[in-house]
Chains A and B, each alone.
Chain A
Amino acid sequence: MTSPIDSPPGVEGGGASVVVDGEEPKKAKAGDAELVGRSPGQLMWIRFKRDRTGVISAYVVIFFFLIGLLAPVISWLYGKDPYTVYADERPELFDSAGVPVQPNGGISGEFWFGLEPGNGYDVFTKLLYGIRTSLGISVAVTLATVLTGILLGVTAGYLGGRTDYWISRVIDFLLAFPAQLFFIASMPVVVSLFVSPRDETPVYVRVVALILVMWFLGWMSLGRILRGTTLALREREFIEAAKVSGAPPWRIIRKEILPNVVTPILVQGTYMLPNFVTAEAGLSFLGVGIVEPTPDWGQMFSKASTELVMQNDITYMFFPGISMIIFIVAFNLLGDSVRDAFDPKTAR
């Protein structure tokens, strides 16, 4: 991790040196007084490095992202891929309903995590690629929601008035949506919006559709927080000063406001990402997200909830289950550490 805030050159540290969190400026100011000459980013980084749980969690999270990124390499070294139908390649390993004959889901030196009941995919590579798919989608949704949240939240907060009123009403309206129900209802619609090409199984269409629907109902909470933060910032002296000095609004937002909302964005971002991972998995679990044979975390859960697995091969469900628990716990701990690092005085 690198320092998330680059000190804006020229503007004497801008607002960034003083205000970290719009809601609690006093505390942050007090903390700053002792450590002159360091940007809040550097401070945060120093504090974060001292937090061992946070560092370990960060390593775990990085490990998961690395697995996702390197899935093809690992599979190549391991010599298998998640698409080979071992139930037909190696029929002696399965009964006629596709349950591995060996105990514990067919775990062996050859198949480290065993074989998936049904078509007999290799669970190890399937999990690697599943993590890759799920994390990829979730990162994309997080980025999209953060951008939207910044755009609408900061705009509403800075401009105020009518714009603020309408954006806030839209946020209220979208927050009242039955989100899951909306996801399920809109997935087929969004998928059909793309002209489905005749020759291709459109995996990317499903991915894009998932990103779109989750983004659509995902940005409001961040938007609302940023609106509040910006609203508070707008009244502060350094913004007033910038306005008086004739800086155009765009420059004020970019140079003065954005550096000050990095904290809530980072903290919220680390909370949002695991939520998107579980939401995406939930959709695939319900059968409206990613479907076989594309490996996906949630799709593995949907397989794990079939009678075939629950009755015959309970081992299988632990691979997606435990890996997800570890990932979510690590990410939540990381989120706590990030918040601590930014705002050490918060009681927890």
Chain B
Amino acid sequence: MLRFLVRRSLGAVVILFLLSIVTFLLFFGMPRDPALLMCGKTCTPANLENLHRVLGLDKPIPEQYWIFLKNLVMGSDDFAQGPCPAPCFGYSYHSNEQVWGTLMDRLPTTLSLTLGGAVCFLIIGLGTGLIAAWKRGTLVDKTFTAGAMVISSMQIYFLGPLALAILVYQTHVFDKPAYNEFTENPAAWFGGLIIPWVVLSTIFASQYTRMARSSMIEQLQEEHVRTARAKGMSRRYVFFRYAWRGSLIPIVTIFGIDLGSLLGGAIITEYTFGLPGLGRLAVESVFFSDLPLLLGVMLFSATMILLCNIVVDAAYAFIDPRVRLA
């Protein structure tokens, strides 16, 4: 187990390292000069040059990259805006705030959105999927599967504005989605996120319905399940003790991937509902050519994805004793 974790973590670090290089190169291909954005109304060439120097953009790219790596690991006191402890991504060009602080500021929004949504869609999706499998072939099954098929073909950029238009703009049943701190006002936190949760979990749940159903049916045809049934165990017992456990493996895989990419920033969801999470931050960092922020978001998102993948693989061992971690 330990060896597995160490090996995978090392692999993840290598990937992150490569990703940071790609992001760095990508940034220097961008057609906009961040210094020009900061320079403001009375911008002279001298000011611009000075800004380039302050931002360190006048140095060769490999040297800039080295400085970035050094700061990330060791932290730095060289920034004009103040000290920057590790993990130091530097200060945002646009807002002059510490990137790590900004990430941590935006994280609760994404966390609330993702985890709340995940709880909803797991319960709904697995529930309906199991019911459909249990009642296989009946009208209930057919309705569930057909409904899931249609809903899973919808996109957040359609269902989201539709929900907003009907629930917020036309009938005024709900407020426009917003993020409020849970610790300050739990009711407002809940009310502000309810529409995003519902929309997110509707779309995701439909995929889990289909997955849970087909995975369950596959399991019920496995030898050991059929043997158990033949030995006279009740259908219910076999269903929930034997098949259920086996059917979880593919679901856990997909859930890990979904959760990772959502935690790294549910870009379209946050954009649709105007929620200030990591996804929105990512879009902003691109629009403002904000290198430190872009690097921060990119690496943070990738870390989330990789972390979830490792956790998923480790979780296999617990669910399915046949799986050995190499």
Do A and B touch (CB < 8 Å)? yes
Cα A288 to Cα B56 with chains together (Å): 29
Minimum distance in angstroms from B53 CB to a CB of chain A? 24
Find residues 284-301 in chain B having any chain A CB closer than 8 Å to their own CB.
286, 294, 297-298, 301
* Proximity bits, A155-184, B CB within 8 Å = 1, else 0: 000000000000000001100111111101
The answer to whether A96 has its CB under 8 Å from any CB of chain B is no
Judge whether A314 and B150 touch: CB under 8 Å.
no
* Proximity bits, A186-208, B CB within 8 Å = 1, else 0: 10110111000000000000000
Judge whether A329 and B150 touch: CB under 8 Å.
yes
Known: A286-B268, A310-B169. A348 touches B214 (CB 8 A): yes
The answer to whether A347 has its CB under 8 Å from any CB of chain B is yes
Give the most central of B11, B158, B283: most A CB within 10 Å.
Answer: B158
Q: Is the interface of A mostly helix, strand, loop or mixed?
A: helix
Find residues 140-183 in chain B having any chain A CB closer than 8 Å to their own CB.
149-150, 153-155, 157-158, 160-162, 164-166, 168-170
Partner of A177, one of B19, B153, B170, B282: B19
Number of B residues, CB within 8 Å of A: 49
The answer to whether A332 has its CB under 8 Å from any CB of chain B is yes
Known: A186-B26, A301-B158, A332-B149. A314 touches B302 (CB 8 A): no
Closest residue of chain A to B149 (Cβ to Cβ) is: A329
Judge whether A188 and B30 touch: CB under 8 Å.
yes
Partner of A173, one of B15, B26, B214, B218: B15
- Determine the interface band of chain A, counting residues with CB < 8 A from chain B: 35 or more
Which residues in A have their C-beta under 8 angstroms from that of B268? 180, 282, 285-286
Judge whether A321 and B158 touch: CB under 8 Å.
yes
Find residues 91-129 in chain B having any chain A CB closer than 8 Å to their own CB.
none
A contacts, CB < 8 Å to B: 172-173, 176-182, 184-186, 188-189, 191-193, 278, 281-282, 285-286, 298, 301-302, 304-305, 307, 309-311, 314, 317, 320-321, 324-325, 328-329, 332-333, 347-348
**5 shortest interchain CB distances as A-B pairs:** A328-B153, A178-B301, A192-B31, A310-B165, A305-B161
B contacts, CB < 8 Å to A: 11-12, 15, 18-19, 23, 26, 29-32, 149-150, 153-155, 157-158, 160-162, 164-166, 168-170, 214, 217-218, 221, 261, 264-265, 267-268, 271-272, 282-283, 286, 294, 297-298, 301-302, 305-306, 309
Extra 13 A-B pairs, beta carbons < 8 Å, given A186-B26, A188-B32, A281-B157: A181-B264, A184-B282, A189-B31, A192-B29, A281-B155, A317-B158, A317-B161, A321-B162, A324-B158, A328-B153, A329-B149, A347-B221, A348-B217
